[in-house]
Structure 1
Amino acid sequence: MSQTDKMREFILSYLETQPNQVNLATVRKLIGYGKNNDYGAPNILNELLVMDQKHEAILTATFDVDFVDGVKLFNNKATRWLTPKGINYLQELKHGSASQPTIQLSTNNKNRAAQKYDGYLAQLISAKTAMQTEADQVTLQEFSLDLRHLLTDNKKLERGALNKFSPFVQRNWQELSTPMTPIFMELSRRFLFDKNYDA
Protein backbone atom coordinates (compact mmCIF):
# COMPACT_ATOMS: atom_id res chain seq x y z
CA MET A 1 0.00 0.00 0.00
CA SER A 2 1.35 3.43 -0.93
CA GLN A 3 1.96 6.19 1.64
CA THR A 4 -0.89 8.19 0.08
CA ASP A 5 -3.30 5.25 0.49
CA LYS A 6 -2.20 4.84 4.13
CA MET A 7 -2.79 8.53 4.77
CA ARG A 8 -6.20 8.36 3.08
CA GLU A 9 -7.13 5.32 5.17
CA PHE A 10 -6.15 7.23 8.31
CA ILE A 11 -8.14 10.33 7.26
CA LEU A 12 -11.28 8.45 6.25
CA SER A 13 -11.18 6.10 9.26
CA TYR A 14 -11.09 9.10 11.57
CA LEU A 15 -13.79 11.04 9.73
CA GLU A 16 -16.04 7.98 9.69
CA THR A 17 -16.08 8.09 13.51
CA GLN A 18 -17.29 11.73 13.55
CA PRO A 19 -21.01 11.70 12.64
CA ASN A 20 -22.80 15.04 12.96
CA GLN A 21 -19.39 16.74 13.19
CA VAL A 22 -18.93 17.88 9.59
CA ASN A 23 -17.07 21.06 10.49
CA LEU A 24 -13.65 22.67 10.55
CA ALA A 25 -13.15 21.83 14.24
CA THR A 26 -13.04 18.14 13.22
CA VAL A 27 -10.54 18.97 10.46
CA ARG A 28 -8.33 20.74 13.03
CA LYS A 29 -8.46 17.67 15.30
CA LEU A 30 -7.66 15.42 12.34
CA ILE A 31 -4.59 17.53 11.55
CA GLY A 32 -3.52 17.39 15.19
CA TYR A 33 -3.81 13.59 15.29
CA GLY A 34 -2.13 13.31 11.90
CA LYS A 35 1.09 14.65 13.41
CA ASN A 36 1.46 11.32 15.26
CA ASN A 37 1.88 9.68 11.85
CA ASP A 38 4.07 12.47 10.46
CA TYR A 39 1.26 13.67 8.20
CA GLY A 40 1.65 17.42 7.74
CA ALA A 41 -1.31 19.80 7.55
CA PRO A 42 -0.72 20.64 3.85
CA ASN A 43 -0.74 16.91 2.94
CA ILE A 44 -3.97 16.24 4.84
CA LEU A 45 -5.66 19.35 3.44
CA ASN A 46 -4.60 18.43 -0.08
CA GLU A 47 -6.09 14.91 0.28
CA LEU A 48 -9.32 16.35 1.73
CA LEU A 49 -9.57 18.67 -1.27
CA VAL A 50 -8.97 15.84 -3.77
CA MET A 51 -11.52 13.58 -2.05
CA ASP A 52 -14.19 16.25 -1.62
CA GLN A 53 -17.61 16.43 -3.29
CA LYS A 54 -16.35 18.51 -6.23
CA HIS A 55 -13.54 16.13 -7.14
CA GLU A 56 -13.62 12.41 -6.24
CA ALA A 57 -16.95 12.63 -4.29
CA ILE A 58 -15.60 10.45 -1.48
CA LEU A 59 -16.55 13.14 1.07
CA THR A 60 -19.90 14.86 1.47
CA ALA A 61 -18.23 18.22 2.08
CA THR A 62 -16.59 20.59 -0.36
CA PHE A 63 -13.32 22.31 0.52
CA ASP A 64 -11.79 25.54 -0.62
CA VAL A 65 -8.16 25.41 0.46
CA ASP A 66 -6.03 28.53 0.33
CA PHE A 67 -2.72 28.14 2.13
CA VAL A 68 -2.58 31.91 2.70
CA ASP A 69 -6.14 32.74 3.73
CA GLY A 70 -7.03 29.37 5.25
CA VAL A 71 -9.62 26.68 4.61
CA LYS A 72 -13.33 27.02 3.93
CA LEU A 73 -15.67 24.06 4.22
CA PHE A 74 -19.12 23.79 2.63
CA ASN A 75 -21.04 20.84 4.05
CA ASN A 76 -24.61 21.41 2.86
CA LYS A 77 -25.82 20.35 6.33
CA ALA A 78 -24.33 16.87 5.92
CA THR A 79 -24.63 14.57 8.93
CA ARG A 80 -21.69 12.36 7.98
CA TRP A 81 -18.38 12.84 6.25
CA LEU A 82 -18.26 9.87 3.89
CA THR A 83 -20.50 9.43 0.86
CA PRO A 84 -21.62 5.85 0.00
CA LYS A 85 -18.79 5.84 -2.54
CA GLY A 86 -16.43 6.94 0.24
CA ILE A 87 -17.58 4.13 2.55
CA ASN A 88 -16.88 1.57 -0.20
CA TYR A 89 -13.52 3.19 -0.94
CA LEU A 90 -12.51 2.99 2.74
CA GLN A 91 -13.39 -0.72 2.79
CA GLU A 92 -11.23 -1.22 -0.31
CA LEU A 93 -8.34 0.59 1.40
CA LYS A 94 -8.73 -1.56 4.51
CA HIS A 95 -8.65 -4.73 2.46
CA GLY A 96 -5.77 -3.64 0.25
CA SER A 97 -7.69 -3.50 -3.04
CA ALA A 98 -8.08 0.25 -3.64
CA SER A 99 -5.18 0.69 -6.03
CA GLN A 100 -5.26 -0.98 -9.42
CA PRO A 101 -4.02 -4.55 -8.91
CA THR A 102 -1.39 -5.81 -11.33
CA ILE A 103 -2.20 -9.43 -10.52
CA GLN A 104 -5.76 -10.28 -9.55
CA LEU A 105 -4.68 -13.38 -7.61
CA SER A 106 -2.49 -11.42 -5.20
CA THR A 107 -5.36 -8.99 -4.52
CA ASN A 108 -7.70 -11.88 -3.72
CA ASN A 109 -5.11 -13.36 -1.37
CA LYS A 110 -4.72 -9.98 0.32
CA ASN A 111 -8.49 -9.67 0.73
CA ARG A 112 -8.64 -13.13 2.33
CA ALA A 113 -5.76 -12.27 4.65
CA ALA A 114 -7.42 -8.99 5.68
CA GLN A 115 -10.78 -10.68 6.29
CA LYS A 116 -9.08 -13.38 8.35
CA TYR A 117 -8.00 -10.78 10.89
CA ASP A 118 -11.08 -8.53 10.77
CA GLY A 119 -12.60 -10.21 13.83
CA TYR A 120 -9.45 -9.72 15.92
CA LEU A 121 -9.15 -6.09 14.86
CA ALA A 122 -12.86 -5.46 15.50
CA GLN A 123 -12.40 -6.77 19.06
CA LEU A 124 -9.45 -4.44 19.51
CA ILE A 125 -11.41 -1.44 18.19
CA SER A 126 -14.28 -2.26 20.57
CA ALA A 127 -11.90 -1.39 23.43
CA LYS A 128 -12.43 2.22 22.31
CA THR A 129 -15.32 2.54 24.74
CA ALA A 130 -12.89 1.99 27.62
CA MET A 131 -10.53 4.77 26.49
CA GLN A 132 -10.51 7.82 28.76
CA THR A 133 -9.83 10.49 26.13
CA GLU A 134 -10.67 11.12 22.49
CA ALA A 135 -6.94 11.28 21.78
CA ASP A 136 -6.59 7.68 23.03
CA GLN A 137 -9.59 6.61 20.94
CA VAL A 138 -7.95 8.04 17.81
CA THR A 139 -4.59 6.49 18.75
CA LEU A 140 -6.34 3.11 19.09
CA GLN A 141 -7.68 3.57 15.58
CA GLU A 142 -4.19 4.37 14.25
CA PHE A 143 -2.77 1.41 16.19
CA SER A 144 -5.30 -0.98 14.67
CA LEU A 145 -4.57 0.37 11.15
CA ASP A 146 -0.84 -0.24 11.65
CA LEU A 147 -1.55 -3.74 13.01
CA ARG A 148 -3.74 -4.46 9.97
CA HIS A 149 -0.84 -3.50 7.69
CA LEU A 150 1.59 -5.68 9.64
CA LEU A 151 -0.82 -8.62 9.45
CA THR A 152 -1.65 -8.33 5.76
CA ASP A 153 1.44 -6.85 4.05
CA ASN A 154 3.60 -10.00 4.50
CA LYS A 155 6.68 -7.85 4.95
CA LYS A 156 9.49 -8.75 7.30
CA LEU A 157 8.69 -7.51 10.78
CA GLU A 158 10.98 -4.65 11.71
CA ARG A 159 12.30 -4.09 15.19
CA GLY A 160 10.37 -1.25 16.82
CA ALA A 161 7.71 -1.13 14.10
CA LEU A 162 5.09 -0.11 16.68
CA ASN A 163 7.43 1.88 18.92
CA LYS A 164 5.43 5.11 18.61
CA PHE A 165 2.47 3.38 20.30
CA SER A 166 4.48 2.23 23.32
CA PRO A 167 3.23 4.94 25.77
CA PHE A 168 -0.36 4.44 24.59
CA VAL A 169 -0.21 0.64 25.02
CA GLN A 170 1.42 0.91 28.45
CA ARG A 171 -1.18 3.45 29.56
CA ASN A 172 -4.08 1.25 28.39
CA TRP A 173 -2.58 -2.23 28.86
CA GLN A 174 -5.45 -3.52 31.01
CA GLU A 175 -8.06 -2.71 28.33
CA LEU A 176 -5.91 -3.76 25.36
CA SER A 177 -4.11 -6.92 26.48
CA THR A 178 -7.01 -9.35 25.92
CA PRO A 179 -8.06 -8.22 22.40
CA MET A 180 -4.39 -7.85 21.35
CA THR A 181 -3.43 -11.40 22.37
CA PRO A 182 -4.44 -13.23 19.12
CA ILE A 183 -2.89 -10.48 16.99
CA PHE A 184 0.41 -10.59 18.85
CA MET A 185 0.35 -14.39 18.79
CA GLU A 186 0.12 -14.31 14.97
CA LEU A 187 2.90 -11.74 14.65
CA SER A 188 5.07 -13.69 17.13
CA ARG A 189 4.44 -16.93 15.23
CA ARG A 190 5.72 -15.33 12.02
CA PHE A 191 8.72 -13.77 13.72
CA LEU A 192 9.75 -16.84 15.73
CA PHE A 193 8.75 -19.79 13.56
CA ASP A 194 8.41 -18.79 9.89
CA LYS A 195 11.72 -18.64 8.05
CA ASN A 196 10.18 -17.19 4.88
CA TYR A 197 7.38 -14.97 6.16
CA ASP A 198 8.78 -11.97 4.25
CA ALA A 199 8.19 -13.67 0.88
Structure 2
Amino acid sequence: MWNLFTIFFSFVLTAVIGNFLAAGWQYRNWIAQQKVSVSQKKNEEQMALLDEIERLASSRRFHMARFAYSLETDDDELIKSRFTEFDKTLVQWNERYSAFLAKLRIYRTFDDAIRLETRIHTPLSLCTSDLAALHKKDKATRFEKIRKLKIHARLNTINGEIIDFSRDYLTEISRNSVIVIDPDSRDFKFENLHYFTTLFLLKSLFRERQKYF
Protein backbone atom coordinates (compact mmCIF):
# COMPACT_ATOMS: atom_id res chain seq x y z
CA MET A 1 0.00 0.00 0.00
CA TRP A 2 2.79 2.37 0.93
CA ASN A 3 4.50 1.65 -2.37
CA LEU A 4 1.35 2.56 -4.31
CA PHE A 5 1.01 5.76 -2.32
CA THR A 6 4.66 6.62 -2.99
CA ILE A 7 4.24 5.99 -6.71
CA PHE A 8 1.03 8.05 -6.84
CA PHE A 9 2.54 10.89 -4.81
CA SER A 10 5.69 10.92 -6.97
CA PHE A 11 3.58 11.00 -10.11
CA VAL A 12 1.48 13.92 -8.86
CA LEU A 13 4.54 15.80 -7.62
CA THR A 14 6.37 15.26 -10.90
CA ALA A 15 3.35 16.39 -12.91
CA VAL A 16 2.93 19.54 -10.84
CA ILE A 17 6.59 20.46 -10.98
CA GLY A 18 6.78 19.58 -14.66
CA ASN A 19 3.75 21.69 -15.50
CA PHE A 20 5.11 24.53 -13.41
CA LEU A 21 8.48 24.45 -15.17
CA ALA A 22 6.90 24.08 -18.60
CA ALA A 23 4.59 27.03 -17.95
CA GLY A 24 7.54 29.10 -16.75
CA TRP A 25 9.60 28.24 -19.80
CA GLN A 26 6.73 28.99 -22.16
CA TYR A 27 6.15 32.35 -20.50
CA ARG A 28 9.86 33.17 -20.72
CA ASN A 29 9.93 32.24 -24.40
CA TRP A 30 6.87 34.41 -25.02
CA ILE A 31 8.53 37.38 -23.28
CA ALA A 32 11.70 36.88 -25.35
CA GLN A 33 9.68 36.73 -28.57
CA GLN A 34 7.79 39.88 -27.63
CA LYS A 35 11.05 41.75 -26.99
CA VAL A 36 12.37 40.63 -30.35
CA SER A 37 9.13 41.64 -32.06
CA VAL A 38 9.18 45.11 -30.48
CA SER A 39 12.85 45.54 -31.33
CA GLN A 40 12.31 44.50 -34.94
CA LYS A 41 9.38 46.88 -35.30
CA LYS A 42 11.44 49.72 -33.83
CA ASN A 43 14.30 48.91 -36.21
CA GLU A 44 11.94 48.95 -39.18
CA GLU A 45 10.60 52.36 -38.14
CA GLN A 46 14.12 53.71 -37.69
CA MET A 47 15.18 52.33 -41.07
CA ALA A 48 12.14 53.92 -42.72
CA LEU A 49 13.04 57.26 -41.13
CA LEU A 50 16.66 57.02 -42.27
CA ASP A 51 15.61 56.02 -45.78
CA GLU A 52 13.35 59.07 -46.09
CA ILE A 53 15.95 61.48 -44.69
CA GLU A 54 18.66 60.09 -46.95
CA ARG A 55 16.43 60.05 -50.03
CA LEU A 56 15.12 63.60 -49.66
CA ALA A 57 18.45 65.12 -48.61
CA SER A 58 20.31 63.41 -51.46
CA SER A 59 17.61 64.40 -53.94
CA ARG A 60 17.74 68.03 -52.84
CA ARG A 61 21.54 68.13 -53.05
CA PHE A 62 21.60 66.40 -56.44
CA HIS A 63 19.03 68.71 -58.04
CA MET A 64 20.73 71.71 -56.47
CA ALA A 65 23.98 70.69 -58.17
CA ARG A 66 22.19 70.26 -61.50
CA PHE A 67 20.64 73.70 -61.09
CA ALA A 68 24.03 75.22 -60.27
CA TYR A 69 25.56 73.73 -63.42
CA SER A 70 22.67 75.05 -65.51
CA LEU A 71 23.37 78.57 -64.23
CA GLU A 72 26.73 78.40 -65.98
CA THR A 73 25.00 78.17 -69.37
CA ASP A 74 22.97 80.53 -71.57
CA ASP A 75 20.17 78.01 -71.94
CA ASP A 76 17.19 79.69 -70.29
CA GLU A 77 14.95 76.69 -70.87
CA LEU A 78 17.45 74.39 -69.19
CA ILE A 79 17.78 76.78 -66.27
CA LYS A 80 14.01 76.98 -65.91
CA SER A 81 13.64 73.20 -66.06
CA ARG A 82 16.40 72.56 -63.55
CA PHE A 83 15.01 75.22 -61.21
CA THR A 84 11.58 73.59 -61.29
CA GLU A 85 13.07 70.22 -60.40
CA PHE A 86 15.19 71.73 -57.65
CA ASP A 87 12.27 73.70 -56.21
CA LYS A 88 10.19 70.52 -56.04
CA THR A 89 12.84 68.74 -53.96
CA LEU A 90 13.20 71.81 -51.75
CA VAL A 91 9.47 71.75 -50.97
CA GLN A 92 9.51 68.00 -50.28
CA TRP A 93 12.41 68.39 -47.83
CA ASN A 94 10.92 71.36 -46.01
CA GLU A 95 7.56 69.62 -45.66
CA ARG A 96 9.15 66.70 -43.81
CA TYR A 97 12.00 68.46 -42.00
CA SER A 98 10.15 69.20 -38.75
CA ALA A 99 8.95 65.60 -38.60
CA PHE A 100 12.53 64.41 -39.10
CA LEU A 101 13.74 66.41 -36.11
CA ALA A 102 10.88 65.19 -33.90
CA LYS A 103 11.33 61.52 -34.85
CA LEU A 104 15.09 61.64 -34.44
CA ARG A 105 14.58 62.84 -30.87
CA ILE A 106 12.27 59.85 -30.27
CA TYR A 107 14.04 57.06 -32.12
CA ARG A 108 17.64 58.23 -31.82
CA THR A 109 19.09 61.07 -29.73
CA PHE A 110 18.94 64.84 -29.47
CA ASP A 111 22.49 64.95 -30.85
CA ASP A 112 21.35 63.23 -34.06
CA ALA A 113 18.70 65.90 -34.57
CA ILE A 114 21.29 68.64 -33.99
CA ARG A 115 23.65 66.91 -36.41
CA LEU A 116 20.99 66.80 -39.12
CA GLU A 117 20.28 70.49 -38.59
CA THR A 118 23.83 71.82 -38.40
CA ARG A 119 25.66 69.56 -40.85
CA ILE A 120 23.03 68.93 -43.51
CA HIS A 121 20.00 71.22 -43.32
CA THR A 122 21.80 74.51 -42.62
CA PRO A 123 24.50 74.04 -45.32
CA LEU A 124 21.79 73.09 -47.82
CA SER A 125 19.82 76.22 -46.90
CA LEU A 126 22.88 78.45 -47.30
CA CYS A 127 23.61 77.01 -50.74
CA THR A 128 19.96 77.48 -51.67
CA SER A 129 20.09 81.14 -50.68
CA ASP A 130 23.26 81.70 -52.71
CA LEU A 131 21.82 80.01 -55.80
CA ALA A 132 18.56 81.91 -55.51
CA ALA A 133 20.48 85.18 -55.48
CA LEU A 134 22.32 84.17 -58.66
CA HIS A 135 19.27 82.93 -60.52
CA LYS A 136 18.42 86.16 -62.32
CA LYS A 137 21.91 87.53 -62.86
CA ASP A 138 23.69 87.40 -66.23
CA LYS A 139 25.81 84.39 -67.18
CA ALA A 140 29.19 86.02 -66.57
CA THR A 141 28.22 87.13 -63.10
CA ARG A 142 26.65 83.76 -62.29
CA PHE A 143 29.70 81.82 -63.44
CA GLU A 144 32.07 84.00 -61.44
CA LYS A 145 29.95 83.91 -58.30
CA ILE A 146 29.45 80.12 -58.43
CA ARG A 147 33.20 79.66 -58.55
CA LYS A 148 33.82 82.28 -55.86
CA LEU A 149 31.18 80.83 -53.54
CA LYS A 150 32.54 77.30 -54.13
CA ILE A 151 29.02 75.98 -54.59
CA HIS A 152 30.04 72.63 -56.05
CA ALA A 153 32.68 71.99 -53.38
CA ARG A 154 30.17 72.79 -50.65
CA LEU A 155 27.61 70.45 -52.20
CA ASN A 156 30.20 67.68 -52.32
CA THR A 157 30.91 68.25 -48.64
CA ILE A 158 27.20 68.01 -47.88
CA ASN A 159 27.05 64.75 -49.79
CA GLY A 160 29.80 63.40 -47.57
CA GLU A 161 27.87 64.49 -44.48
CA ILE A 162 24.76 62.66 -45.71
CA ILE A 163 26.80 59.49 -46.22
CA ASP A 164 28.44 59.76 -42.79
CA PHE A 165 25.09 60.41 -41.12
CA SER A 166 23.58 57.31 -42.76
CA ARG A 167 26.59 55.14 -41.89
CA ASP A 168 26.61 56.14 -38.22
CA TYR A 169 22.82 55.78 -38.00
CA LEU A 170 22.97 52.23 -39.42
CA THR A 171 25.84 51.33 -37.10
CA GLU A 172 23.83 52.34 -34.05
CA ILE A 173 20.75 50.43 -35.24
CA SER A 174 22.86 47.32 -35.75
CA ARG A 175 24.55 47.71 -32.37
CA ASN A 176 21.28 48.09 -30.46
CA SER A 177 19.33 45.39 -32.28
CA VAL A 178 17.75 42.63 -30.19
CA ILE A 179 17.93 39.39 -32.12
CA VAL A 180 17.36 35.83 -30.92
CA ILE A 181 20.40 33.98 -32.24
CA ASP A 182 22.41 30.84 -31.66
CA PRO A 183 24.51 30.76 -28.46
CA ASP A 184 27.67 30.53 -30.56
CA SER A 185 27.16 34.21 -31.43
CA ARG A 186 29.48 36.79 -29.90
CA ASP A 187 26.35 38.64 -28.64
CA PHE A 188 25.61 35.82 -26.21
CA LYS A 189 26.67 37.65 -23.06
CA PHE A 190 25.55 37.74 -19.44
CA GLU A 191 23.81 41.10 -19.84
CA ASN A 192 21.89 39.80 -22.89
CA LEU A 193 20.58 36.53 -21.41
CA HIS A 194 17.03 37.80 -21.03
CA TYR A 195 16.81 38.18 -24.84
CA PHE A 196 17.38 34.45 -25.50
CA THR A 197 14.86 31.63 -25.50
CA THR A 198 15.00 28.87 -22.94
CA LEU A 199 16.04 26.38 -25.63
CA PHE A 200 19.17 28.34 -26.45
CA LEU A 201 20.01 28.75 -22.77
CA LEU A 202 19.66 25.00 -22.20
CA LYS A 203 21.92 24.31 -25.18
CA SER A 204 24.52 26.68 -23.78
CA LEU A 205 24.84 24.57 -20.61
CA PHE A 206 26.50 21.84 -22.64
CA ARG A 207 29.02 24.08 -24.38
CA GLU A 208 32.33 25.53 -23.28
CA ARG A 209 31.88 28.51 -20.96
CA GLN A 210 34.77 30.56 -22.37
CA LYS A 211 33.00 30.87 -25.70
CA TYR A 212 30.31 33.13 -24.28
CA PHE A 213 31.64 35.18 -21.38
TM normalised by structure 2 equals 0.28
Structure 1 or 2: more strand by fraction = 1
Higher RCO (C-alpha under 8 Å, 6+ residues apart):
2
Structure 1 or 2: more helix by fraction = 2
TM normalised by structure 1 equals 0.29
